[in-house]
Amino acid sequence: MAQRIEHDVLGDVRVPADAYYGSETQRALDNFKISDRKPQKELINAIALVKIAAAKANMKAGKLDKRKGNAIIRAANEVLNGKFDSQFKIDLFQAGAGTSTHMNVNEVIANRAIEMLHGKKGDYKIVHPNDDVNMSQSTNDVFHSAIHIAAYLMLEERLIPSLKKLEKALDRKSSEFMKVVKVGRTHLQDAVPMTLGQEFSTHALAVYVESKRIGLARDELRYLPIGGTAIGTGINTPKGYATSCILEINRLTKRKFERTKNTFYEIQDQSAEAFVSGALRNVAIVVSKLANDLRLLTSGPSTGFNDIALPAEQPGSSIMPGKVNPSIPEMANMVCFEVIGNDLVVANAALGGQLQLNVFMPIIAYKLIYSIEIMSNAIDTLAAKCIDGIKANEKLLKSRIEHDMSIATALTPYIGYAKAAEIARLSYKTGKTVKDICIEKKVFGRKTLDRLLDPKRMIL
């Protein structure tokens, strides 16, 4: 493989001749052979977006040569368009703070800008990754800002719409099943009647609540420490630079980001990321509860609850012919377990910060973006391939209501708890209905029992 030699503060580095990255990226590739996980495209794009904003702000301030600046902007736009995706392959587990990934972006943009200005890769006299692409910046304000931008956009464009889609699917089923009466369950034992629609309405409301909470968490990410540079003092930035950066970021994203009131805070404190991660954990809890309930309600079909039938999407066994499992809810459960685990990683990384900087930003970025991605995909799949196709086993549910001993609860105001409990136990022991026991014991006449024990009367 043809190579070029680049020089940095530690000495000479051999880099593939056709690579757009440079010496710092190559050192990271050599040093961090830990996993197959790389920074996600959403993070790379957010860094590139900051580079465009910074170049424009530096040109406006008269600090960056316009010929260089425009080449940097064009190169960064090509990064946004995915032209150099293969150049961003540093391992997730790298030197702290994200310097390696940040310099990877700086080097790719610099070398592409050099080409645009008719130079050869590695000729940093034309465009320098630090002096020009990273002008007025530090990893510590760029990387933190990029995490906020990437996560904000993903929450708004992917997760919140996915949650709304799931809420609507559950609402449709709630309306469809609102007149389907069934036995409720507590402690996994029979309880008083309810409708299947009421059961689905609780899940719809839970998803709605979480979408609102995610919106609140998203808003915590609006504040960017751009212009704070190394620790928040803003060293090496020209007057008006931060304001210009924010205005350009908002123009590019069509959002309303703001510069944080205290850049020191956003650089050293990752409580905003931890808050968002916690909100994602709560979404996982709600979605996992839904998946658990669906698996129970469809269990059987001969020996389980069998209240509902889920769409058959996968053969369920390699040995038992005809077996169909609740494969989509099972997938959703596993995604939720992963998201909850990711939250623990984010929490530990956030509390690992020391003094003026948290150095664990690469793992925070990766886990946050990963959780949003898989949660959004899982919710979309759950809505489209499971919820929309659910059918109620109405005949079975009606039969169970007729033999449900818990409807004796409706008699309690008239005959007292003890007498109602005795009737319920007799119903269970003999297999006779509560109504039949009451008629035998002459508790009430049939007409009165038809009214008191009407399941629909017991439902709000």
* pLDDT in 10s for each residue of the chain, 460 residues: 899 999 999 999 999 999 999 999 999 999 999 999 999 999 999 999 999 999 999 999 999 999 999 999 999 999 999 999 999 999 999 998 999 999 999 999 999 999 999 999 999 999 999 999 999 999 999 999 999 999 999 999 999 999 999 999 999 999 999 999 999 999 999 999 999 999 999 999 999 999 999 999 999 999 999 999 999 999 999 999 999 999 999 999 999 999 999 999 999 999 999 999 999 999 999 999 999 999 999 999 999 999 999 999 999 888 999 999 999 999 999 999 999 999 999 999 999 999 999 999 999 999 999 999 999 999 999 999 999 999 999 999 999 998 889 899 999 999 999 999 999 999 999 999 999 999 999 999 999 999 999 988 888 7
Residues 183, 401: contact at Cβ < 8 Å? Answer: yes
As a whole number of angstroms, the distance between CA 141 and CA 224 comes to 8
Task: Note the pLDDT of residue 456.
Answer: 86
pLDDT of residue 459: 87
Which secondary structure element, helix H or strand E, spans residue 190, and what is its range?
Answer: strand 189-195
Bond before 301 cis per omega within 30 degrees:
yes
Return the CATH number of the domain spanning residue range 403-458: 1.10.40.30
Pairing of strands 181-186, 11-16: unpaired
User: What pLDDT sits at residue 18?
Assistant: 97
Q: What's the CATH superfamily of 3-135?
A: Fumarase/aspartase (N-terminal domain) (1.10.275.10)
Rounded Cα distance, 176 and 173, in Å? 5
Listed residue (175, 261, 187) closest to 225, CA to CA: 261
Residue 406 annotated in active site: no
- The one-character DSSP state at 255 is S
Question: pLDDT at position 458, please?
Answer: 86
pLDDT at residue 409, as a whole number? 93
Other C-beta atoms closer than 10 Å to the C-beta of 226 total 32
pLDDT at residue 67, as a whole number: 98
Is 23 within 8 Å of 8 (Cβ atoms)? yes
Chain region(s) in the chain for CATH 1.20.200.10: 144-230+253-394
Start and end residues for every CATH 1.10.275.10 domain found in the chain: 3-135
Q: At the fourth CATH level, which superfamily is domain 144-230+253-394?
A: Fumarase/aspartase (Central domain) (1.20.200.10)
Going by C-beta distance under 8 Å and a sequence separation of 6 or more, which residues neighbour residue 341? none
Residue in 317, 318, 327, 371 annotated catalytic: 317
Q: Could you tell me how many helices (H) and strands (E) the chain has, helices first?
A: 17, 8
Sole residue written with tokens 């703070």: 97
Q: What is the spatial distance between Cα 375 and Cα 166, in angstroms, rounded to a whole number?
A: 12
Each residue of 230-257: b (16+ CB within 10 Å) or e? bbbebeebbeebbebbbebbeebbeeeb
Taking the alpha carbons of 148, 227, 236, 124 in that order, is the dihedral positive or negative?
A: positive
In three-state secondary structure terms, 5 is strand
> Three-state DSSP class for 71?
helix
Domain with CATH 1.10.40.30 in the chain: 403-458
